[in-house]
Amino acid sequence: MKLLRHGPAGQEKPGLLDATGAIRDLSGFVADINGASLAPDALAWLAALDPATLPLVPGRPRLGACVGAVRKFVCIGLNYADHAAETGKSVPSEPVIFLKATTAICGPDDPYEIPRGSTKTDWEVELGIVIGTRAKYVSEAQALDHVAGYCLVNDGSERAFQSERQGQWTKGKSHDSFGPIGPWMVTRDEIPDPHELGIWCEVDGHRYQDGNTRTMVFQVAYLVSYLSQFMTLEPGDIIATGTPPGVGLGLRPQVFLKAGQTVRLGIDGLGVQEHVTVQA
């Protein structure tokens, strides 16, 4: 099942993508695609609905972030060995964790802002984990039971803010539009192995990132279990699991974004995002 949110920013309605690629409205059944609707029993109830009986959403509406009211946006750094190498860093012995402000969250095709004063705005295509049930001190064997599904994430970054302005990474990761999620959340039953997915990103048609989630250092179950030792993961929380090589920072010469470019990214089975860069 592919769950989504459609409509103007701040007025999104819940929906799903049917087998034909059409959007069906779920407003008569759930208030939103958020923590409450991501519990196993809620997902099972939605999956039992016949999409053909749901109202068809006409045209091509804007898609919002596929999960609403996200309380935590947790990111994992340097989780692909070849990406760590391109940035001049070693593979960490434990996951590198940072938080991205939830105000960075936006829709999968919304404009991608270049912050004021930015000289090094970058891209990072990532597999996102959507938490479905509360997870605290869970074992690796139990971890996937707490996952509602997966989504596509662009972990937008301003590298100078991130690494040259003192402090932690969050200031380079939290600008508005630096956290587009979607186009939809795909429930876990449709992604039997999240570590066999092609993952890519293009800028103005040039493919800079072209990898596979099989090369992740720390995999999904381990990450959920690990994070739950340090914080309680709640329904609707998003975990961005790291990016493969090919980011602008790692290229020689380095390449960074300017206003007026098109960033397109995707993961097998999870859809595609497309953003036009604009000056903030």
**pLDDT tens figures, 175-199:** 999 999 999 999 999 999 999 999 9
pLDDT for position 168: 84
User: Within a domain: residue 45?
Assistant: yes
The dihedrals phi and psi of 126, each to the nearest 5 degrees, come to: -145, 150
Note the pLDDT tens digit of each residue in 35-80.
Answer: 999 999 999 999 999 999 999 999 999 999 999 999 999 999 999 9
Rounded-to-integer distance, Cα 227 and Cα 95, Å: 9
In this structure, are strands 112-114 and 271-279 parallel, antiparallel, or unpaired? parallel
pLDDT for position 84: 81
Task: Write out the chain's pLDDT in tens, 280 residues.
Answer: 999 999 999 999 999 999 999 999 999 999 999 999 999 999 999 999 999 999 999 999 999 999 999 999 999 999 998 888 888 878 899 999 999 999 999 999 999 999 999 999 999 999 999 999 999 999 999 999 999 999 999 999 999 999 999 888 999 999 999 999 999 999 999 999 999 999 999 999 999 999 999 999 999 999 999 999 999 999 999 999 999 999 999 999 999 999 999 999 999 999 999 999 999 9
pTM beyond 0.85: the answer is yes
Task: Give yes or no for a contact between 184 and 153, defined as CB atoms under 8 angstroms apart.
Answer: no
Instruction: Count the helix, strand and coil residues of the chain and give each as a percent rounded to the nearest 5.
Output: 20, 30, 50
User: Within a domain: residue 167?
Assistant: yes
Rounded-to-integer distance, Cα 247 and Cα 124, Å: 6
Please give the helix or strand (H or E) that residue 212 lies within, else none: strand 206-212
Are residues 157 and 255 part of one domain? yes
Are residues 173 and 34 part of one domain? no
Rounded-to-integer distance, Cα 254 and Cα 203, Å: 13
Q: How many CA atoms lie within 13 A of 180 on its CB side?
A: 29
Are residues 187 and 112 part of one domain? yes
User: Within a domain: residue 60?
Assistant: no
Are residues 102 and 204 part of one domain? yes
pLDDT for position 126: 98
User: Within a domain: residue 80?
Assistant: yes
Residue-range definition of the domain harbouring residue 33? 2-53
Rounded-to-integer distance, Cα 111 and Cα 119, Å: 18
pLDDT for position 17: 98
Token couple for 163: 């690494």
Are residues 215 and 142 part of one domain? yes
Are residues 117 and 77 part of one domain? yes
Domain count, the chain: 2
Rounded-to-integer distance, Cα 133 and Cα 40, Å: 8
Are residues 211 and 78 part of one domain? yes
User: Within a domain: residue 65?
Assistant: no
Are residues 108 and 9 part of one domain? no
Are residues 139 and 29 part of one domain? no
